[in-house]
Amino acid sequence: MKLNIALLAGDGIGPEVIDQAVKVCNAVAKKFDHEINWTSALTGACAIDAVGEPYPDSTHEVCMAADAILFGAIGDPKYDNDPKAPIRPEQGLLKMRKKLGLFANVRPTFTFPSLIDNSPLKRERIEGTDLIILRELTGGIYFGERGRKDNGNTAFDTCTYTRDEIIRLAKLGFEMAMTRSKKLCCVDKANVLESSRLWRETVQDMEKDYPEVTVSYEFVDAVAMRLVQWPSTYDVMITENLFGDILTDEASVISGSMGLMPSASIGLHTSLFEPIHGSYPQAAGKDIANPLATVLSAAMMFEDAFGLKDEAELIREVVNKSLAEGIVTEDLSGKNKAYKTSEVGDWLAKNI
């Protein structure tokens, strides 16, 4: 098979972890006789530095021409704490999501038995956790009208949702629930927000099309509690953009394996795969960052973008093997030897 993949390494540790995922993908391609056509493009702070724009048109063209996008991380401290900076890397992210129509962010949270004790939560609370949060990614308060009034002394943001946006996201959620335990939780704030009431009523209307799926409706504040208390009671969750931003990050720390969690963003034109961790600028260039989340994002890419399940499974197996054998970076090595980012990548590629 011919796989056209756009490669957006981004900032900070992005390039280093992406390099390892590329090694692994190339090894997989060789083994299964695929041909990968990689096209690199700039995004994030490095794109601002190079061309004054965090998601340049040239990058958008590369993405539109690709079957899938493998993404590293973006963000640079020089743009932090300056909400008034005229151009910021995050704007590139939001522009990319919108222009590529990446309407659904898929964030699994699961546990690795060997890492479970890294969690801030007690083992008995997280054992068996295997949940997916589906976050709406191109609507809501992220993209609504915003501005200032009253000489800059009043600021406003608008959260808007249409029924169609909700249906599109919820449909994915129902379908995902059908392939899993047939449990779907819709997270909203319908006791306060009109947009949440539209979410709830739209999902309620869709229930009849999926009679086997048991749907629950929970308020976002209650979910923020229960995610910490009983994460393993959740399965597929759907929610709007801002709630998803908060809850996916909260969920990411419960498994103790945050440095390993992959994600996918499903789009109208293409889809994008990226680790959930950030650009971790303090570690950039040191060859110490953990590449496994990016490698596992590549596994998601094989499966979800290309339907190549065996390839995905093989990557996951090799990752598990590296964990079992302690071929890991310093964040996971404990008192044992810490391998370099590039050494972990080489080991994985060799073992494919």
Distance CA 199, CA 180 (A): 22
Q: State the catalytic residues.
A: 142, 189, 221, 245, 249
Give the integer Cα–Cα distance in Å for 128 and 110. 8
Q: Does 157 bind ligand IPM (CB under 6 A)?
A: no
Q: Give the residue among 99, 88, 90, 89 at the shortest CA–CA distance from 61.
A: 99
Residue 67 interacting entry, from its own copies, ligand IPM, none, C-beta within 5 to 8 Å by type: none
Site for ligand IPM in 241-300 (CB under 6 A): 245
Q: How far apart are the first and last CA of the chain?
A: 18
Residue whose CB is less far from its own copies, 61 or 80? 80
Q: Give me the DSSP letters along 185-229.
A: EEEE-TTT-HHHHHHHHHHHHHGGG-TT-EEEEEEHHHHHHHHHH
Nearer to its own copies, 150 or 212 (CB): 150
191 is a contact residue toward ligand IPM (CB under 6 A) = yes
Q: What's 271-297 look like in SS3?
A: EEEEECCCCCHHHCCCCCCCCHHHHHH
249 is in an annotated binding site: yes
Please check if 221 is assigned to a binding site.
Answer: yes
135 within 8 A of 250, measured Cβ to Cβ: no
Question: How many Å apart are CA 24 and CA 295, to the nearest integer?
Answer: 7
Which of the residues 64 through 103 are near its own copies (CB under 8 A)? 81, 83-84, 88, 90, 94
Task: Quickly tell me which residue has 């390099």 as its tokens.
Answer: 19
Binder of its own copies out of 36, 115, 224, 338 (CB under 8 A): 224
Does residue 192 interact with ligand IPM by CB under 6 A?
yes
Interface with its own copies in residues 229-288 (CB under 8 A): 229-230, 242-243, 245-250, 252-254
Applying the rule CB under 6 A, the residues between 84 and 103 that interact with ligand IPM are 90, 93
**Looking at the DSSP assignment, which residues form a beta bridge with residue 146?**
157
Asked if residue 135 belongs to a known ligand binding site, the reply is yes
When binding is defined by CB under 6 A, the residue of 157, 221, 310, 317 that contacts ligand IPM is: 221
Q: Per-residue x/- mask for ligand IPM, residues 107 to 146, rule CB under 6 A?
A: ----------------------------------------
The helix (run of H) or strand (run of E) holding residue 199 is helix 194-206
- Taken as a whole, the chain contains a residue count of 352
Site string for its own copies, 118-157 (x = CB under 8 A): --xxx--x---------------xx-x-xxx-x-xxxxxx
Is 163 among the annotated ligand-binding positions? no
Sequence-ordered list of residues with C-beta below 8 angstroms from that of 83, at least 6 positions apart, any chain: none
With contact defined as beta carbons under 8 Å apart, do 271 and 265 qualify?
yes
Is 160 among the residues that bind its own copies (CB under 8 A)?
yes
82 is in an annotated binding site: no
Binding stretches for ligand IPM (CB under 6 A):
90, 93, 191-192, 221, 245
Residue list, annotated binding site for Mg(2+): 221, 245, 249
